[in-house]
Structure 1
Amino acid sequence: MKVLALPLLLAWSLVASGAHAGTPPSREPTMPDIAATLIARHVSASKPAELIVLYRLQLAAERYVDAETTLDRLTAAYRSSEPRLVPSVVPWQTYARAKAYEANGSEASAALRRAFSELYGSLSDTQAVDIGPWYKVDLDAMRAHVAEQEKACAGMRLEHCPSAADLIAARQGLATWTYLVPALKPLLEADTQRRFLIDDQILIPTPDGAKIAALLVRSRSAPSIKLTALLNFTIYANDGWSMDDAKKMAAHGYAGVVAYTRGKGRSPGAVVPYVHDGEDASTVIAWLARQPWSDGRVGMFSGSYNGFTQWAAAKHHPPALKAIATHATNAPGIDTPMQGNVFQSFIYYWPFYTTNTKGLDSDTMNDRAHWAALQRYWYVSGKPYRDLDKIDGKPNPIFDTWLQHPSYDAYWQRLIPYGREFADIGIPVFVETGYYDGGMVGALYYFEQHIKYRPTADDRMLIGPYHHIAMQTGVLPEIDGYVVDKAALLDLQDVRLKWFEHVFRGAPLPDLLSDRVNFEVMGANTWRHVSTLADMAASYRRLYLTGRHEADRLLFDDTPDKQSLPPELVVNFADRSDADFRPPGGMPDTRNALVFETPKLTKALEIDGLFHGQFEIVTNKRDFDLAVNFYALMPDGTYLDLASYLGRASYMEDRTRRHPLQPGQPITLAFQSQTVTARLLPAGSRIVAVVGVPKIPQVQINYGTGRDVSTESIADAGDPLRIRWLAGSYFELGMRGSLEF
């Protein structure tokens, strides 16, 4: 071959220089050729999205060393802008380095083993467990992305396509992972076995004959040390997610445990959400404390439904349970399936997701077009809310059972601590929630009830600009148009682990958790620390509802308005012409609502904590549902969420017992927001309250007859609902600084 190389090169040089009498045949540029030509346009990349395109072009052009250099730059960019994504770079570095070794003569499998060992295998357990989940990808989603990019270049030669770089980047991404997924599987499995002792076949018997499926992970580095167990008890049976959780805890020196709701995973029998979880979690805790490796102590962690299971277990006081760390915490009967005793339809299809299979029925859950069509049909038809499953054509007995309990009655009270039962829970509690977290409603409920009934409770709450799954997926750099402050870009799992270190190992409490309520002020880039939710605000200011208008908005005032006509809201429940209405992008939904607004602020103002409302109203119905949403209208015209409330008027006094209204008679409604905020508003902003009655496809409709709302239909609409706000109705907002217009 070496003998032939020189003549061939000479022949090509003659052709290239025109020395050959004929015209050389043209060569179609390959993807590596095109990628190489595009690299020059991207060498100045600095933002993560730009760097991603650059390193993939370099991979496609087979410039592997350059690609790894760019990946180092991407890591640095992520550290400053989106720390949660730093571990995601390692799999790409593994690929780039393996390909570089292969280009230098190494056999492919040996090259990958070497790169994997250098970049992953040599890491500590605590580092490796953060990277491990990033070796999992959705190849179908990547194929769909390639197809989308190919459409943009349809009918064009690749080198002539304006978005050729994006298409090459997408193709390279798919090619990389199509190679890595099968090739790395044995390497990852061997690395896990080297690091951890795993038992994923556990079945724990319960006193009533059920069996609870569980998996257990411990570090191999300390097999003889007695360990504290950290338990996640969940209905979300996914062994991949569970293994990641358990390995994370094991890497930090605990016994990592995940157990499933009875009937899930390897557990025989039917699945019933909520009903048995408290007792079953207590059984698992007792079992863990008896194991030879156990030091007799168990903590619980995780959030959403899995936060509920922690409070459910605490209700039963298992002696070995020493601490719970919750986030985005679900409180059945408080925030789902009903909030303020109002049922919301997003939870209708959740029972199918969690009970159709031993795992999770994601296909059914994610069929959003079907569920939107169901909600729309129900809304337009005007049929009773309890007929949702009949309309759907599929029984939903779990949801139907919930509908039979519109009061917060004994059915709900038995699931989690109720009333004075909170006083008997003496273990430390850590709560994480976010201003953009739908689970904040439940998180605040547990926190306030625990402090109310046990004033000395050792509770710590962390609140920031976080979404519902920020604990699992990391803090987003931007959410709903808000760019998150640098101070809030935390590793929330690390904060939780430091709290566990404090509780179980005597480490100092992190400064971030220096008081009971620790919250980040959005826009101020600062954390504050106070003893109660009420203390989040330095002062409170009343904003009275008036009948005075400015354009199509009503005005707030400092004093009761006794001069103008009282504001009145009219809602026609028989009108369904708005079934397909969508508010303009970024605008609040003001249908069936009154909008109250302050003048522009003349100087910056910090709005903090809960808001309170006291309405003096007269209505023509025996009941109605109230929705209040506060916004900041920024100087640039954008709306930012502040805090909200949703509740049924007849339950505002007592969520356990309904008190129908007396039509035509004045009544006082007092309520507190179910979420909090902490936001610095710049001068020129306005505070806006949208005060309305929910009449939309996604929420149960209260027609006001006083009967069970689930049995009411459009036939009960009757005269339109009228609500008149009397002088003296007000909101009370917490703030730091003075409200000046």
Structure 2
Amino acid sequence: MNIFATSMLLVVSVCASIATAAPATPLQDEQLSVVAAKLIPAYASEQSAKSLAILYNLQLAAGRLADAEATLDRLEAVYRSSEPRLVPNVVPWRIYARSKAYEAAGKTAPDALAHAFSELYSSLPSSQAAAVLPWYSADIDSLRADEAAQAKICAGMPLARCASAANLIRAHEENIALTYLMQASAPLLKADMERRYLIDDQVLIPTPDGAKIAALVVRPRSAGKTKLTALLNFTIYAKDTWSMSDAVTMAAHGYAGVVAYTRGKGRSPDAVVPYVHDGEDAATVIGWLSHQPWSDGRVGMFSGSYNGFTQWAATKHHPSALKAIATNATNAPGIDTPMQGNVFQSFIYPWPFYTTDIKALDDKTYDDRARWIGLEKKWYVSGRAYRDLDKIDGKLNPVFDTWLEHPAYDAYWQRLIPYGREFASIDIPVFVETGYYDGGMVGALYYFQQHLKYRPAANDRMIVGPYHHVAMQTGVLAKVDGYQVDKAALIDLQELRLAWFDHVFHGAPLPALLSDQINFEVMGADSWRHVPTLADMATSHARFYLTGHHDAKPLLLGNAPDTQSAPELVVDFTYRGDVDFQPPPGMADTRNALVFETEPLKEPLEVDGLFQGRFVVTANKRDFDLSVNFFELTPDGRYLDLASYLGRVSYMQDRTHRQLLQPGQPRVLEFQSQTLTSRLLTQGSRIVAVIGVPKVPDIQINYGTGGDVSSESIADAGAPLRIRWSADSYVELGIRGAPDFAQRH
């Protein structure tokens, strides 16, 4: 059975099971209608998206269908202003309201839905219809859970007396509408797709070593005999609804949209091995695409996270048909995952199960957060070696264990992506999208900087703003990590990427937002800047020395060295009483760290780009891991992220070769942040540096023996770690402006 048919049947079967198993609620149609009608006036003049969503569902429940559709007009206007990514989601709700109106006018339910669907979806341009398509694979389970939670609040009382009645009615109506739409719309969607596109979802591409790669190809019927450029997403995330949406989006914009899976995923009969074969296999797929009768011989690649890695992996093999890559939130194996700065992080531990257990994705295992958080805590409390994680869990994790055998950035990692001078031969345009709140920024910056280091004239462009890891897939959030995103940053990142592809492949004008090599939004200033290099993000630099005495809390970020001070950090690796500690919301985690603050800013100050550090330290152990995190501490006590660094000191000079410390002897540590920022700090805020040693349940613990860190345990802890910073240790931030407390360089 083909991917599209499978996707549609999956939607139907899931919805049917949910509808059958839906919990009983205290709602009766007549009672619901009466209560809903009485609640409508309280919401009629509301303007927030949340209130308008409630109003719409109250109007549905009361049978006021024309009013409900008018409310959607208001909701769409709010979304356009505050969260544009949600605008396409209004279309299915509009279809539902109109179909119910047609039913009330005498049409049968199938005819009513078909009529509304034709008016409101089939009539859309393909690009707009493609934006709506992901809604039809929405998470009904969450709606069902929401209704059950609201019903519990109102249990045991008449609906009219429940303070949460409006929310219960909203959840009930949304559950009914979504279940109905996703079942009844499946054949309509299938027919509409076949009208717009030529879909080949049975492709198996052979590789030179005998493996087979499963692929999906979607082409616009409107292209006729015109040759097409292919845009390829090569991914390990074998989820057919995601793949169809990606391929359709590319086809809707005039390309051949292609999604190919890592060998062993989907219909591929081979074993799944993350990372190892993707570069060669992607190059094979690119060659195959370029020789198809519909192809113009050119291929671009797109997508992010792991799928961004596959693009750089493909460039290592120089397929001649590959003419451009557009990456976002880009994973760099060995650089940011599974280790950052040669320090392993446990968030990645469940990922091999998620991607290799089955042909699709093992969501059930991956989403078992209680299991993974529990595993991290059990390991932390036990004090066992990091390589015992799978033994504690009770299930072997051979992929993760293989990674642990390579703590240096050695040949194992170097063969996966371009390394060193290999970047010099990559001569295609590169577009990079990342975000200040994107964990994938570490990898994105690594590729970007390495490419320009070895090929200074590379045609690379970067855009960075207050975006989270999946902003490219799901749209820009209006608020992220407590930060209200500026309106200037509420852009459509997918449309921007497609406009860049149009520039590269069809000679369209370069989008104005990409007018220079580095294009960044200044948080808090609601504006964009465009500069030729990362270094040009800042106009000057402020150097802060780590000053203060042992009894000073917090210590000072000062403008000159204090020869009387020698900040010292002591870390007891045997203490595990903090296993359940979580910093309060809006606060920084300052465990096992020294906290340095500036005086309050006398005027606003813009902090831009990467920070540098030069520490002269003396430690009593042969190694330790270092974390440096910068924050804006606002006058009301909130910590807002700026930029950060995490690294193993013994690999700080060379990630490929370990150089241990000599206990009691000073060592100069020079480093650069792995993330960057651009933020306008408010008057009265302080700049805060939290400089410490990670000793938490979700990061590998380096006990400092100088041996294999993954094999160290609490038995190796010995005396507490002691680190002393010399008086001339400093950090340096890029700024715009002239602070009166900092020496400028």
**Band of TM-score, shorter chain:** over 0.9
SS of 2:185's equivalent in the other structure is helix
1:338 and 1:347 mapped to 2: Cα distance?
Answer: 9
1:155-166 → structure 2 map (5 Å cutoff): 155-166=156-167
Shift of 1:580: 1.3
Q: Deviations over 1:219-242 (max 9, x none)?
A: 111121100000000000011100
Structure 1 residue ranges without an equivalent (≥5): 1-26
Aligned pairs, how many?
A: 714
1:485 maps to what in 2? 486
Q: Counterpart of 1:676 in structure 2: which amino acid?
A: L
Shift of 1:556: 1.2
Q: Deviations over 1:667-705 (max 9, x none)?
A: 100000000000000110000000000001100000000
Shift of 1:619: 0.3
1:192 aligns with 2:187: no
SS of 1:317's equivalent in the other structure is coil
1:662-741 → structure 2 map (5 Å cutoff): 662-740=662-740
1:81-480 → structure 2 map (5 Å cutoff): 81-480=82-481
Shift of 1:547: 2.1
1:136 and 1:452 mapped to 2: Cα distance?
Answer: 43
Q: Deviations over 1:137-174 (max 9, x none)?
A: 22222111001001111211001111111111110111
1:285 and 1:404 mapped to 2: Cα distance?
Answer: 32
1:654 maps to what in 2? 654
1:520-539 → structure 2 map (5 Å cutoff): 520-539=521-540
SS of 1:243's equivalent in the other structure is helix
1:354 and 1:640 mapped to 2: Cα distance?
Answer: 33
Q: 1:125 to 1:29 in 2, by over 3 A?
A: closer
Q: Deviations over 1:451-493 (max 9, x none)?
A: 0000000000000000000000000011111111111000000
- Asked whether the equivalents of residues 523 and 679 of structure 2 are also in contact (C-alpha less than 8 Å), the reply is yes
Q: Counterpart of 1:611 in structure 2: which amino acid?
A: F
Shift of 1:101: 1.0
**Structure 1 vs Structure 2: percent identity of aligned residues?**
71
Instruction: Report which stretch shifted further, 258-267 or 220-229.
Output: 220-229
After TM superposition, the score normalised by the length of structure 2 is 0.95
Q: Counterpart of 1:437 in structure 2: which amino acid?
A: D
- Asked whether the equivalents of residues 550 and 568 of structure 2 are also in contact (C-alpha less than 8 Å), the reply is no
2:631 maps to what in 1? 631
SS of 1:642's equivalent in the other structure is strand
Shift of 1:586: 1.6
- Asked whether the equivalents of residues 197 and 220 of structure 2 are also in contact (C-alpha less than 8 Å), the reply is yes
1:38 maps to what in 2? 39
1:424 and 1:137 mapped to 2: Cα distance?
Answer: 43
1:48 aligns with 2:40: no
Shift of 1:29: 5.5
2:587 maps to what in 1? 587
Structure 2 residue ranges without an equivalent (≥5): 1-27
Shift of 1:563: 2.0
Q: Counterpart of 1:739 in structure 2: which amino acid?
A: P
1:549 and 1:692 mapped to 2: Cα distance?
Answer: 15
Q: Aligned-residue CA RMSD in angstroms? A: 1.0
Q: Counterpart of 1:666 in structure 2: which amino acid?
A: P
SS of 2:611's equivalent in the other structure is strand
SS of 2:684's equivalent in the other structure is coil
Q: 1:321 to 1:346 in 2, by over 3 A?
A: same
2:563 maps to what in 1? 562
1:291 and 1:28 mapped to 2: Cα distance?
Answer: 57
SS of 1:215's equivalent in the other structure is strand
1:245 and 1:528 mapped to 2: Cα distance?
Answer: 30
1:520 and 1:585 mapped to 2: Cα distance?
Answer: 25
1:531-550 → structure 2 map (5 Å cutoff): 531-548=532-549
SS of 1:700's equivalent in the other structure is coil
Q: Deviations over 1:579-616 (max 9, x none)?
A: 11111222111110000000000000000000000000
Shift of 1:28: 10
- Asked whether the equivalents of residues 603 and 740 of structure 1 are also in contact (C-alpha less than 8 Å), the reply is no
1:570 and 1:540 mapped to 2: Cα distance?
Answer: 31
SS of 1:30's equivalent in the other structure is helix
Shift of 1:636: 1.3
Q: 1:422 to 1:472 in 2, by over 3 A?
A: same
1:71-90 → structure 2 map (5 Å cutoff): 71-90=72-91
SS of 1:312's equivalent in the other structure is helix
- Asked whether the equivalents of residues 597 and 688 of structure 1 are also in contact (C-alpha less than 8 Å), the reply is yes
Q: Deviations over 1:294-345 (max 9, x none)?
A: 0000000000000000000001000000000000000000000000000000
1:425 and 1:346 mapped to 2: Cα distance?
Answer: 32
- Asked whether the equivalents of residues 549 and 555 of structure 1 are also in contact (C-alpha less than 8 Å), the reply is no
2:660 and 2:666 mapped to 1: Cα distance?
Answer: 13
- Asked whether the equivalents of residues 614 and 669 of structure 1 are also in contact (C-alpha less than 8 Å), the reply is yes
- Asked whether the equivalents of residues 572 and 720 of structure 2 are also in contact (C-alpha less than 8 Å), the reply is yes
1:712 and 1:135 mapped to 2: Cα distance?
Answer: 49
1:365 and 1:107 mapped to 2: Cα distance?
Answer: 43
Instruction: Report which stretch shifted further, 626-635 or 572-581.
Output: 572-581
2:507 maps to what in 1? 506
Shift of 1:653: 0.4
SS of 1:279's equivalent in the other structure is helix
Q: Counterpart of 2:667 in structure 1: which amino acid?
A: I
1:15 maps to what in 2? none
SS of 1:441's equivalent in the other structure is helix
Shift of 1:446: 0.2
SS of 2:520's equivalent in the other structure is strand
After TM superposition, the score normalised by the length of structure 1 is 0.95
Decide which structure has the larger Cα Rg and report it.
Answer: 1
SS of 1:221's equivalent in the other structure is helix
SS of 1:641's equivalent in the other structure is strand
1:583 and 1:126 mapped to 2: Cα distance?
Answer: 44
Shift of 1:551: 5.7
Q: Deviations over 1:347-388 (max 9, x none)?
A: 111000000000000111011101111111111111110111
- Asked whether the equivalents of residues 206 and 212 of structure 1 are also in contact (C-alpha less than 8 Å), the reply is yes
2:144 and 2:577 mapped to 1: Cα distance?
Answer: 40
- Asked whether the equivalents of residues 262 and 271 of structure 1 are also in contact (C-alpha less than 8 Å), the reply is yes
Q: Deviations over 1:701-725 (max 9, x none)?
A: 0000000100101010000000000
- Asked whether the equivalents of residues 548 and 555 of structure 1 are also in contact (C-alpha less than 8 Å), the reply is no
Q: 1:391 to 1:28 in 2, by over 3 A?
A: closer
2:17 maps to what in 1? none
Shift of 1:548: 3.9
- Asked whether the equivalents of residues 423 and 451 of structure 2 are also in contact (C-alpha less than 8 Å), the reply is yes
Shift of 1:78: 0.5
Q: Counterpart of 1:609 in structure 2: which amino acid?
A: G
Q: 1:531 to 1:598 in 2, by over 3 A?
A: same
Shift of 1:516: 0.6
